[in-house]
């Protein structure tokens, strides 16, 4: 019994020591990241993106990152003084974005992050760098849906808990038969098999799916503007210095044509009409 107690005490002590060092380690890293906004060359910048949205932020099977958000993130990082090999991309799931920023796990979040007041209570935004709208994706030969009210007799799919799904339920078409799936890929299965009539979310995300090699020619965007979703770059609340720098970087990206090039390359196919870059409204 005594031996057991001693062993347990030693184990507890070891665990405590390990956690303590682990905490120390991570906070050291965070603080060094925090001080590096000026651009110390050897440091890394951690940027949160989506890993599962083709055309915007996608981690490919060979470990590369592609998409419009990735291009924007790379450009902004370059303006902040980081080369592409100094960028570490971290997955920023929608529900975790605010905490990743507030905890200092990431410096920036470039992940289809719509600017709104509730989010601004926890983080600051730079941008917007892109103006998306809620839209519908239908089969390429389907012409029966031309406005939101048409959805009331249709079978519709969106992602569980997303703003787009809630918009449909409360405002756009309360009588639509709405299926909420875990991800957009699941919706595409039903859409292709004609069990569903439309898939709804931001047009940028829809365009990314429709532009995928395996989906080319199968789906099209209806082209409705059911909502405004200005995407911003999330950063730590109160970091005015970083906000100004990121805004300047975004402005430069639009002016030198890189922005348009990134939009065309990532979201080009699928009947997607890219709008000009939005005016920057956050910070000043």
Binding-site member from 19, 27, 152, 160 for another protein (CB under 8 A): 160
* For another protein, the closer CB: 143 or 193: 193
DSSP string, 118-160: HHHTTEEEEEEEEEE-EEEEEETT--S--SGGGGGGSEEEEET
Residues 87-106 within binding reach of another protein (CB under 8 A): 94-95, 97-99
d(CA 76, CA 280): 14
Residues 101-130 within binding reach of another protein (CB under 8 A): 118-119, 121-122
- Residue 99 CB, nearest approach to another protein (Å): 7
Task: Residue 135: name the closest of 232, 230, 67, 229 by CA.
Answer: 229
* For another protein, the closer CB: 78 or 155: 155
Q: Which SS3 state, helix, strand or coil, does residue 234 take?
A: strand
* For another protein, the closer CB: 81 or 104: 104
- Residue 179 CB, nearest approach to another protein (Å): 4
* 102 Cβ contact list (under 8 Å, min separation 6): 122, 123, 236, 237
Residues 126-155 within binding reach of another protein (CB under 8 A): 155
* For another protein, the closer CB: 137 or 249: 137
284 binds another protein (CB under 8 A): no
| Number of CB atoms found within 10 A of residue 54's CB | 24
d(CA 92, CA 77): 17
* For another protein, the closer CB: 122 or 139: 122
What the block records as the tokens of 145 is 């849906």
CA angle 13, 15, 18 (to 5 degrees): 110
Binding mask 195-214 for another protein (x = CB under 8 A): xx------------------
Kindly list the distances between the CA atom of residue 3 and the CA atoms of 6, 11, 12, 17, in Å, as whole numbers in the listed order.
5, 12, 14, 21
238 binds another protein (CB under 8 A): no
* For another protein, the closer CB: 137 or 178: 178
Which residues contribute to the site for another protein (CB under 8 A)?
94-95, 97-99, 118-119, 121-122, 155, 160-163, 165-166, 177-182, 186, 189-190, 193, 195-196
């Amino acid at each position: 019994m005594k031996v057991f107690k001693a062993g347990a005490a030693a184990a507890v002590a070891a665990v405590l020591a390990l956690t303590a060092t682990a905490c120390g380690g991570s906070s050291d890293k965070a603080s060094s990241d925090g001080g590096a906004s000026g651009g110390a060359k050897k440091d890394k910048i951690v940027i949160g993106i989506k890993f599962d949205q083709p055309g915007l932020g996608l981690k490919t099977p060979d470990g590369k990152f592609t998409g419009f958000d990735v291009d924007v993130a790379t450009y902004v990082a370059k303006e902040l003084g980081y080369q592409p090999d100094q960028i570490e991309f971290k997955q920023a799931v929608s529900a975790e974005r605010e905490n990743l920023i507030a905890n200092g796990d990431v410096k920036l979040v470039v992940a289809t992050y719509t600017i709104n007041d509730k989010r601004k209570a926890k983080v600051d935004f730079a941008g917007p760098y892109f103006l998306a709208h809620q839209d519908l994706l239908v089969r390429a030969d389907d012409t029966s849906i031309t406005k939101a009210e048409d959805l009331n007799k249709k079978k519709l799919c969106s992602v569980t808990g997303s703003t787009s799904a809630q918009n449909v339920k409360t405002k756009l078409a309360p009588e639509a038969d709405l299926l909420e799936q875990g991800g957009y890929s699941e919706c595409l299965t039903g859409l292709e098999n004609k069990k569903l009539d439309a898939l709804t979310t931001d047009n940028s995300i829809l365009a990314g799916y429709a532009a995928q090699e395996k989906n080319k020619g199968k789906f099209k965007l209806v082209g409705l503007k059911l909502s405004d979703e200005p995407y911003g770059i999330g950063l730590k609340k109160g970091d005015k210095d970083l906000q100004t720098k990121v805004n300047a970087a975004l402005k430069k990206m639009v002016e030198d044509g890189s922005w348009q090039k990134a939009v065309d390359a990532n979201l080009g196919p699928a009947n997607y009409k890219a709008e000009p870059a939005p005016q920057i409204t956050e910070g000043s």
